[in-house]
Amino acid sequence: AQSVTQLGSHVSVSEGALVLLRCNYSSSVPPYLFWYVQYPNQGLQLLLKYTSAATLVKGINGFEAEFKKSETSFHLTKPSAHMSDAAEYFCAVYDANAGKSTFGDGTTLTVKP
């Protein structure tokens, strides 16, 4: 079974600082990996996805993630945090056979002025 672990349920950064949200996955097959963002009382918005093309994936709002097979990681980064980045972030792995996504527990990002 596939699984995802997000390290750190809460991350706090200052505006303008580097954002780093950590995600490790477990998968017996080449994974489809995703990062989603969720704002309060809203659904999930796709930030970026890895589907076995380039290992460095660029997404929306200046976010990017690097797939590292040797470390089974897919960490999300943004060079400079903005107040509007404050939200909850979910890492997910998609299992095509089971037709479902498995999500990490989420990381709440707080951005301090």
Partner 1 sequence: KAGVTQTPRYLIKTRGQQVTLSCSPISGHRSVSWYQQTPGQGLQFLFEYFSETQRNKGNFPGRFSGRQFSNSRSEMNVSTLELGDSALYLCASSIASGSYEQYFGPGTRLTVT
Contact positions toward partner 1, by CB under 8 A?
32, 34, 36, 41-46, 49, 51, 90, 92, 94, 96-106
Of the two residues 46 and 54, which places its CB atom closer to partner 1 in the complex? 46
Of the two residues 40 and 113, which places its CB atom closer to partner 1 in the complex? 40
CA 26/CA 23 separation, integer angstroms: 10
CA 44/CA 37 separation, integer angstroms: 6
Residue of 112, 87, 102, 109 lying closest to 3 (CA atoms): 102
Q: How far is the CB of 87 from partner 1 (least distance, A)?
A: 14
Of the two residues 14 and 45, which places its CB atom closer to partner 1 in the complex? 45
